[in-house]
C-alpha cells in the first residue's frame, strides 16, 4: 500500500490522513452515565476493578469437591454435603470426605479439586472415582480473570457489548465518558430534492445525508441535519456559520470541485482556514479539510461513492480522534483478484470488491463492476476495498492485490 508517486498538486492519501489527525484536538467535556447507556461510548478515564473476578474459588463442573490428599488413602469418598451456586457448603470438608458441587458454586473449605460427575460411580453416600483428576482440576480461582485494582479498560476505550458485560460482572453501574460529539451535515446542490418532493428536469433525490447520518449513528454521535443548501455563496456561508455554532464538526457534501457552482472551498477560505484540498485518491480527489471558527470541517465530494469513501477513510478516523477514541489500525490482506481492474497511475485507488474464501482458505476478491463515483451500488454490493497504490497501472485477473475489509461504519 505504498503511496509514493501521486499526481502533482494532490496530497498523498496517507499524508492527508496524518495531517488531518495531527490537526485535531480531542474534546475534553465528560459526563456520567449508567452502564445500560454505555454502548459505543468512550471512557474518559482508566477504569479499575473494585473486586476480584471471580470473587471466590469455584467449580467449573458439576461433580464432587474433595482434597486430593484424601485419595492416597482410600478408593472411595464419603459424601457429606452440597455446595450450590449462591448456597455454599458451610463447614470444612475433612480427609476422606467429598461435597456434591455445582458449576459456579463456591469451593468448600478443605477442598482443592473437583471430579466431574461423569467420572464417578455413586451409591448412597459413597463416591468412587473412575478416573484420577489432577490437583486443582476443574477449579476456577478467585481473581483468575480480573484482579481487584487492575485497570480493566483504559481511557479512550469505545465500549462494546462485551465490555458492558465485563463491567456488569465487576458491579460497575456508573461510567465517566466523553460527551457525545455533535456533527452537522450539509448537502449542497441546486439539483438535490428531498424525499417526497417532485423531481423536475435535471433533479435527483438527495441521498448523501442519509448514508452519512447512518455512518455517524454507527459512530454514536449526535447528528444535526441542515438538509439541502442551494449552490449560492451567501446561502452556503450562512449554513456553514450556523452549523459551526452548533456542532463540533461540520460535514458538507458537494460543490468542492472546480466548477462554476462549487463554493465550498471558497467559503471555507473566507470564514475559516483550509488545511488541505485535493487528495491523490480515487474516489475522493476534491476532499477539503479545514477549520471553522469553532469546529473542524470536512468538505466531501458530492459524488455519492466519493462521499462515502472519504467519510469512511478520512472523516470517521478524524471524528474518532475528536472523541478520544483509539482506532484499531486497518488490517490489509492479500487476495487473488478474479477480475481485470482498470487503473491509471497517479491516484491511490479504493476500488470496491467482494472478498471470499474457498475451502482451502485461499482469499479471492472480485470487483463489484463499474467503479464510477456516482454508482452507489458498487459500494452497496462490496465488503472491502481493493487498494491500489498511486503508481500502479491496470491489474489483470489472477494477480495478487491488497484488500482492506470494510469497518463497522457502513453496516
Ligand atoms: N474539471 C474538473 N471537474 C471535476 C473534477 C476535476 O478535478 N476537474 N473532479 C471530479 C471529481 S473527481 C469529483 S469527485 C467531482 C466532485 O465534485 P463536487 O464535490 O463539486 O460535487 P458536485 O458537482 O456538487 O456533485 C457531483 C455529483 O454528485 C451528485 N451529488 C452531489 N451531492 C449529492 C447528494 N447530497 N446526494 C446525491 N447526489 C449528490 C451531483 O448531483 C453530481 O452528480 O467533481 C468532478 N469534476
Ligand atoms: O475523485 Mo472523484 O471522487 O473520482 O469521482
146-178 pLDDT, tens digit each: 999 999 999 999 999 999 999 999 999 999 999
236 alpha carbon, closest ligand: 1
Could you tell me if the CB of 301 is within 6 A of ligand 1?
Answer: yes
Shared-domain flag, residues 187 and 303 = yes
Could you tell me if the CB of 253 is within 6 A of ligand 1?
Answer: yes
Shared-domain flag, residues 170 and 266 = no
Shared-domain flag, residues 21 and 113 = no
Alpha-carbon separation of residue 100 from 85, 88, 124, 150, 270 (angstroms): 11, 11, 12, 33, 78
> Which sign does the torsion angle of CA 266, 253, 387, 403 carry?
positive
Q: Give the integer Cα–Cα distance in Å for 251 and 253.
A: 7
Residue 312 maps to a domain: yes
pLDDT at 328: 78
Strands 296-300, 249-253: pairing kind: parallel
pLDDT at 273: 97
Comparing C-alpha atoms, which of 323, 198, 195, 189 is closest to residue 252?
A: 189
Could you tell me if the CB of 187 is within 6 A of ligand 1?
Answer: yes
285 alpha carbon, closest ligand: 2
227 alpha carbon, closest ligand: 1
pLDDT at 1: 46
Per-residue pLDDT tens listing for the chain (411 residues): 445 555 678 999 999 999 999 999 999 999 999 999 999 999 999 999 999 999 999 999 999 999 999 887 677 999 999 999 999 999 999 999 999 999 999 999 999 999 999 999 999 999 999 998 999 999 999 999 999 999 999 999 999 999 999 999 999 999 999 999 999 999 999 999 999 999 999 999 999 999 999 999 999 999 999 999 999 999 999 999 999 999 999 999 999 999 999 999 999 999 999 999 999 999 999 999 999 999 999 999 999 999 999 999 999 999 999 999 877 788 899 999 999 999 999 999 999 999 999 999 999 999 999 999 999 999 999 999 999 999 999 999 999 999 999 987 888
Q: Residue with the nearest Cα to atom 10 of ligand 1?
A: 257
pTM: 0.89
Domain boundary among 299, 322, 345: 322
Residue 377 maps to a domain: yes
Could you tell me if the CB of 189 is within 6 A of ligand 1?
Answer: yes
pLDDT at 326: 73
Q: Total domain count for the chain?
A: 4
Residue 49 and residue 170 in contact, taking contact as beta carbons nearer than 8 Å: yes
172 C-alpha vs ligand 1 centroid, how far in Å? 49
Ranges of beta strands (E only) in 93-135 are 97-101, 113-116, 120-123, 126-129
Shared-domain flag, residues 278 and 352 = no
257 alpha carbon, closest ligand: 1
Q: Which of 264, 277, 285, 299 is the best mutation target for the ligand 2 pocket, counting ligand atoms within 8 Å of the beta carbon and taking the most?
A: 285
Residue 3 maps to a domain: no
- Cell numbers for 204, please give them: 435527483
Q: Give the integer Cα–Cα distance in Å for 209 and 188.
A: 10
Name residue, grid cell 471558497.
266
pLDDT at 5: 53
Q: Which of 192, 254, 255, 310 is the best mutation target for the ligand 1 pocket, counting ligand atoms within 8 Å of the beta carbon and taking the most?
A: 254
Q: Residue with the nearest Cα to atom 44 of ligand 1?
A: 257
Name the DSSP class of 72. T
Shared-domain flag, residues 233 and 260 = yes
Q: Residue with the nearest Cα to atom 25 of ligand 1?
A: 302
Shared-domain flag, residues 279 and 362 = no
347: Cα within 13 Å, side-chain hemisphere? 17
pLDDT at 21: 96
3-class DSSP state of 299: strand
Alpha-carbon separation of residue 405 from 16, 250, 343, 409 (angstroms): 21, 27, 20, 11
Amino acid at each position: 500500500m505504498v503511496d509514493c508517486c501521486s499526481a502533482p498538486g494532490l496530497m498523498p492519501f496517507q499524508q492527508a490522513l496524518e495531517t488531518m489527525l495531527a490537526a485535531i484536538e480531542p474534546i475534553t467535556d465528560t459526563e456520567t452515565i449508567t452502564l445500560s447507556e454505555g454502548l459505543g461510548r468512550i471512557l474518559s478515564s482508566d477504569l479499575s476493578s473494585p473486586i476480584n473476578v471471580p470473587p471466590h474459588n469455584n467449580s467449573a463442573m458439576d461433580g464432587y469437591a474433595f482434597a486430593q490428599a484424601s485419595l492416597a488413602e482410600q478408593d472411595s469418598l464419603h459424601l457429606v454435603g452440597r455446595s450450590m451456586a449462591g448456597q455454599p457448603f458451610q463447614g470444612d470438608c475433612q480427609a476422606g470426605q467429598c461435597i456434591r458441587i455445582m458449576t459456579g458454586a463456591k469451593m468448600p473449605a478443605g477442598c482443592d479439586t473437583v471430579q466431574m460427575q461423569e467420572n464417578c460411580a455413586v451409591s448412597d453416600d459413597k463416591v468412587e472415582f473412575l478416573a484420577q483428576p489432577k490437583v486443582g482440576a476443574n477449579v476456577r480461582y478467585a481473581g483468575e480473570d480480573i484482579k481487584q485494582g487492575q485497570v480493566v479498560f483504559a481511557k479512550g476505550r469505545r465500549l462494546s457489548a462485551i465490555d458492558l458485560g465485563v463491567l456488569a460482572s465487576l458491579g460497575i453501574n456508573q461510567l465517566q465518558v466523553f460527551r457525545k460529539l455533535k456533527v452537522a451535515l450539509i448537502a449542497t446542490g441546486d439539483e438535490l430534492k428531498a424525499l417526497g418532493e417532485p423531481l423536475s428536469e435535471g433533479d435527483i433525490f438527495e441521498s448523501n445525508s442519509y448514508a452519512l447520518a447512518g455512518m455517524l449513528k454507527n459512530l454514536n454521535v449526535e447528528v444535526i441535519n441542515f438538509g439541502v443548501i442551494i449552490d449560492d455563496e451567501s446561502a452556503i456561508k450562512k449554513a456553514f456559520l450556523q452549523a459551526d455554532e452548533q456542532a463540533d464538526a461540520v460535514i458538507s457534501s458537494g460543490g468542492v470541485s472546480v466548477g462554476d457552482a462549487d463554493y465550498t472551498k471558497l467559503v471555507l477560505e473566507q470564514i475559516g482556514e483550509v488545511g488541505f484540498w485535493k487528495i491523490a485518491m480515487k474516489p475522493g480527489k476534491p476532499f477539503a479539510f479545514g477549520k471553522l471558527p469553532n469546529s473542524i470541517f470536512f468538505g466531501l465530494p458530492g459524488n455519492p461513492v466519493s462521499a462515502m469513501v472519504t467519510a469512511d477513510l478520512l472523516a470517521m478516523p478524524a471524528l474518532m480522534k475528536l472523541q478520544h477514541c483509539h482506532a484499531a489500525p486497518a488490517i490489509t490482506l492479500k487476495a487473488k483478484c478474479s477480475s481485470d481492474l482498470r487503473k491509471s497511475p497517479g491516484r491511490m485507488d479504493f476500488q470496491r470488491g467482494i472478498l471470499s474464501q474457498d475451502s482451502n482458505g485461499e482469499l479471492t476478491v472480485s470487483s463489484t463492476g463499474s467503479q464510477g463515483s456516482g454508482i452507489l451500488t458498487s459500494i452497496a454490493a462490496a465488503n472491502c476495498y481493493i487498494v491500489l497504490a498511486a503508481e500502479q497501472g491496470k491489474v489483470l485477473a489472477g494477480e495478487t492485490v491488497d484488500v482492506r475489509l470494510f469497518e463497522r461504519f457502513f453496516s
